[in-house]
Amino acid sequence: MEKRRSFLGALGRKIIQVREMGVILPIVLATILFASQNSVFLGQENLINMLRTASFTFITAIGMAFLIISGGWDLSVGAVYAFAGVACGLLMSVGVPIPVAILGGCMFGFLFGIINGFFVQSVGLPPFVATMSSMYMARGLVTGFQKGNPVYPLPDAFNAIGQENLMLFGIPIPYVLIVALAFGLIASFVLKKTSYGRMIFAVGGNAETSRLAGIPVRFVRFSAYVLTGMLAALTGILMAARMGSAQPNTGSGFEMQVIAACVIGGVSLNGGAGSVLGALLGSVFMTMIANGMTLTRVSPYWQQLVMGLVLLLACSLDQARMRMKK
């Protein structure tokens, strides 16, 4: 009996230490729960819809994962998301070719990433202050310039990126999912297999030790802010294609959704630990919970409560892992 308890305890500790397990088990349980309540949940159309929705969160979560692992975070991604979508829409409305308009929208994300990185790394402002300031600036600019009005209509060829699917063996695969997985594979390779990825982990684990080892700490974190800004911008552009219009008020609360997806997926708020796979699983789980509760007619107010509890549990699990390492 004693050996059995010892084995179960060791197994439990092992499961906790594998960061992705913290979200894989809830995904399985949520699938069983919602599928038993509503057969539509596992229907092809709903599954495709969930994957499409999760893709938008995941694209920005890739950049946020890099940033959180390096020891930073960004509250401006929701506003940058809206700003870039509107900017891209306005460029197309005056005849700019679609690829150039998309690149132009992403450049605004690049610019806000530079602003965030500069004020955090060079001026020394806390990430909370610097990125919240950027959030208000981006939101104020886009809503003030547009006076709250959307950019509409957008070209059909552009809208197809967010609305259409690629048929693969008779299965419709959303284009945005393909984009998200492509970025995810590249990001995972960079984080795991390159010197830059190792520097991201080192800086987040201990910035002072990394500095003494010759790692350019400021550059690493600065680049993570730029990456996050550009991916948030790309997400906003893809969402504009999905909606068929660029809405200046969209993306409100998106920053917390992205951070929650990362943390739920095992990216440590303390820095130095996490994975792109975890960010993907966290994005899927967040989407599943929202979709499942909507199908079972749970009030949106209660949905927010559930999301808050899930995030609280994820953060508690992260702290448990930190204590086990000591």
Sketch the domain layout of the chain as residue ranges: 41-325
Cβ neighbourhood burial of 167 (10 Å; 0-12, 13-18, 19+): exposed
Angle formed by the axes of helices 127-146 and 77-93, to 10°?
30
How far is it, in rounded angstroms, from Cα 205 to Cα 189? 20
The identity of residue 271, as a single letter, is: G
CATH class of domain segment(s) 41-325: mainly alpha
Q: CB of 127 within 8 A of CB of 73?
A: yes
Report the length, in residues, of the chain: 326
**Tally of CB atoms within 10 A around 12:** 10
pLDDT score at 165: 92
pLDDT score at 299: 85
pLDDT score at 269: 87
Phi, psi of 302, deg, nearest 5: -70, -30
How do 165-168 and 171-174 pair as beta strands? antiparallel
pLDDT score at 280: 95
156-184 per-position pLDDT tens digit: 999 999 999 998 888 899 999 999 999 99
Q: Which residues does the chain have with pLDDT short of 50?
A: none
The identity of residue 139, as a single letter, is: R
Of 251, 267, 264, the C-alpha closest to 307 is 264
